[in-house]
Amino acid sequence: MLNVDEIRKDFPILSREVNGKPLVYFDNAATAQTPKQVIDTIVDYYSNYNANIHRGVHTLSQEATDLYEQARYKIQAHFNAKFSHEIIYTSGTTHGINLVANGFSSLLKKGDDIIVSALEHHSNIVPWQMLCERTGANLKVIPMNAEGELVMAEYSNLLSKNTKLVFVNHISNALGTINPIEDIIAQAHNVGAAVLIDGAQSTPHVKPDVQKLDVDFYVASAHKMCGPTGVGMLYGKEEWLKKLPPYQGGGEMIAEVTFEKTTYADLPHKFEAGTPNIAGGIAFGAAIDYMNGIGFNNIADFENELLEYATNKLLDIEGLKIYGTSKHKTAVISFNLEGIHPYDVGTILDKLGIAVRTGHHCAQPIMDYYKIPGTVRASFAFYNTKAEIDTLVAGVKKAKIMLS
Ligand SMILES: *Cc1c(COP(=O)(O)O)cnc(C)c1O
């Protein structure tokens, strides 16, 4: 069991006020809050270890390098990658996806198929459209149903020997649906296609095992799992990372440079050009330690309780509709009040100190499917409480009265 009162003490921001009211932070799917254990790591790094890594013979540089590489081992262990060089530091999920999309430019030809899902974040759609424009490959889309689930029978129909890549998010950021990625990966592998899973929304709630999933690529952002912004990771199977060309050229990613020919560094450095977010990488490791300290089973149990509680309370409000009603979902509630624009609801909630997201959540195709401009999205984390949900419910009721 998780002691939420104790946990909340770790998050300095949770005790601040917004618009004269105690902050209720329900925008966790956009970014999670940062515990002092992680903040301290960043302060400690800049106070005691700041140096460039992998190049200096001096002590500071070696200490910084050790901390940064230890964090890579933590990430490797957390995701159960076979080798630490299969973990590439990135600036976040978007960077990881672009790195893979760029790499596949040289592997695809006209007539090849790439499959994405209707539940994707824009960052998981646009890079593939760009890739298709460069290569002449076709983009195919797994459709969704009214519950906000992927139609798996259609997926099976889209797969063929022309399918080279499948890209799906593990959990939808707009609706919270948990996609059946084991099945998606197995079916893709049956036709010889590679699979990239966008784990930006899953990693705050579950602990993925990349070997067990047998996934080819898996990407995540530290800031959605209690870490800092501007850092993330790409897991790639060694064979794939060896096959893909480097993404960016620069320092750190080379073995030898002459004007005739440059040879690339070994993994993972081949994909890590330039000075990285060193403090961010170290803090990412600290965030993983922090979340494992609480335990992902405890987190899931607690958040499911919050989800059920909030769903029931919100559905009591007449005219409130929830989008994304799969039985397999995480603690995200996307909703609208009949006849009221989500932006107006969000504005009133903000006056009450409640932070929710409004809009299309970088997932416009989903909004088009439901024929709505957007939703109000409340997304919960393990440091939220039922009392905060009561505040939200009261706020939504108030908004309804004020706006209708
Ligand atoms: C947040 C998010 C992204 C983008 O993550 P960045 O950290 O902004 O790169 C991609 N996919 C999903 C599902 C997300 O929730």
Provide the residue-wise pLDDT of the chain in tens; the chain has 404 residues.
899 999 999 999 999 999 999 999 999 999 999 999 999 999 999 999 999 998 788 999 999 999 999 999 999 999 999 999 999 999 999 999 999 999 999 999 999 999 999 998 887 788 899 999 999 999 999 999 999 999 999 999 999 999 999 999 999 988 999 999 999 999 999 999 999 999 999 999 999 999 999 999 999 999 999 999 999 999 999 999 999 999 988 877 878 888 888 888 899 999 999 999 999 999 999 999 999 999 999 999 999 999 999 999 999 999 999 999 999 999 999 999 999 999 999 999 999 999 999 998 788 889 999 999 999 999 999 999 999 999 999 999 999 999 99
Query: How many CB atoms sit inside 10 A of residue 310's CB?
Result: 24
Alpha carbons within 13 A on the beta-carbon side of 397: 11
Question: Does the pTM of the predicted model rise above 0.85?
Answer: yes
Give the Å distance between the CA of 121 and the centre of ligand 1: 7
- Helix, coil or strand: residue 360: coil
CA of 41 to the centre of ligand 1 (A): 24
Place of tokens 């059920």: 308
Contact, 168 vs 141, CB < 8 A? no
Q: In angstroms, what is the span from residue 122 Cα to ligand 1's centroid?
A: 9
Ligand 1 contacts CB of residue 169 (under 6 A): yes
Angstrom distance (rounded) from CA 364 to CA 278:
34
Catalytic, 362? Answer yes
- What's the confidence (pLDDT) of residue 248? 85
The residues, ordered by sequence, that sit 6+ positions from 91 with a Cβ below 8 Å of its Cβ are 230, 231, 232, 277
Instruction: Determine the Cα–Cα distance for residues 347 and 343; give it in Å rounded to an integer.
Output: 6
201 Cβ closer than 6 Å to some ligand 1 atom: yes
Q: For ligand 1, what atom is nearest to the CA of residue 171?
A: 13
Nearest partner of 311 among 202, 389, 372, judged by Cα: 389
110, with CB counted inside 10 A (0-12, 13-18, 19+), is exposed
Q: What is the dihedral of CA 206, 212, 213, 215, to 10 degrees?
A: 120
Verify whether ligand 1 is closer than 6 Å to residue 32 (CB atom): no
What are the E-state strand segments in 93-238? 113-117, 138-142, 163-169, 194-198, 217-221, 232-236
Domains and CATH numbers, the chain: 4-26+295-399 (3.90.1150.10), 39-293 (3.40.640.10)
Q: How far apart are CA 7 and CA 303, in angstroms?
A: 14
- The residue type of 342 is P
Question: Of these residues, 126, 254, 317, 362, which one is catalytic?
Answer: 362
Q: How far apart are CA 223 and CA 33, in angstroms?
A: 8
121 lines ligand 1 (CB under 6 A): yes
The DSSP element (H or E) to which 256 belongs, if any, is strand 254-257
- What pLDDT is recorded for position 360? 85
**DSSP, res 150:** B
Q: Which atom of ligand 1 has the smallest separation from the CA of 172?
A: 13
Spatial CA neighbour of 98 closest among 72, 140, 129, 139: 129
97 CA to centre of ligand 1 in angstroms:
10
Pairing of strands 320-323, 232-236: unpaired
Ligand 1 neighbour 93 (Cβ under 6 A): yes
Regarding the beta carbon of 28 and ligand 1, being less than 6 Å apart is answered no
How remote is the CA of residue 157 from the centroid of ligand 1, in Å? 28
Query: Is the separation of the CB atoms in 233 and 283 below 8 Å?
Result: no
Q: What is the number of the ligand 1 atom nearest to the C-alpha of 95?
A: 9
Query: Which atom in ligand 1 lies closest to the alpha carbon of residue 91?
Result: 9
Q: Could you tell me if 9 and 305 are in contact, meaning their C-beta atoms sit under 8 angstroms apart?
A: no
Q: What does 290-351 look like in DSSP terms, one character per residue?
A: HHHHH-HHHHHHHHHHHHHHHHHHHHTSTTEEEE---SSB-SEEEEEETTS-HHHHHHHHHH
Q: In terms of Cα–Cα distance, which of 38, 326, 50, 73 is closest to 178?
A: 326
Question: Does ligand 1 have an atom closer than 6 angstroms to the CB of 177?
Answer: no
Cα-to-centroid distance, 170 and ligand 1 (Å): 11
Pocket test for ligand 1, best of 169, 221, 334 (most atoms within 8 A of CB): 221
